[in-house]
Amino acid sequence: QVQLVESGGGLVQAGGSLRLSCAASGRTVSSYTMGWLRQAPGKEREFVAVLNRSGLRTVYADSVKGRFTISRDNAKNTVYLQMNSLKPEDTAVYYCAAKVSSGLEITLKYDYWGQGTQVTVSS
């Protein structure tokens, strides 16, 4: 099994940037499809971004397309979410997740989850 720990969340003003990190241990991130998902207060959890096992393909939610970038550093066994042009509606707990199956499906079904990191965007 793989363990995932998110970091990098915090308070940022609208229009600012933040980079979230997801440090994996136990297994290499290249063994998994890696995703970022988020849950805002009073709302259901939603898909944000996914990176396939080869690290060569990505899919983004329409709400973050052009602003967010998911990436992977195999040497550090870490997945990142670079968030630019942040908006108040991006405020949420952000979760890193991994699944064994391949593909870029937009889904909330993942095998392993991190504990989440809070991102708050002020206006």
Q: What is the model's pLDDT at position 16? A: 98
CB count in 10 Å sphere of residue 1: 8
Q: Which of 74, 32, 40 is nearest to 48 (CA)?
A: 40
How far apart CA 31 and CA 15 sit, in angstroms, is: 34
Structure tokens at 94: 């952000």
How far apart CA 110 and CA 101 sit, in angstroms, is: 9
**Least confident residue range of 14-23, 97-106, 111-120:** 97-106
Q: Is the pLDDT of residue 103 over 90?
A: no
CB count in 10 Å sphere of residue 101: 12
Structure tokens at 13: 């003003």
Q: Chain-wide mean pLDDT for the chain?
A: 97
pLDDT (tens digit per residue) in 42-90:
999 999 999 999 999 999 999 999 999 999 999 999 999 999 999 999 9
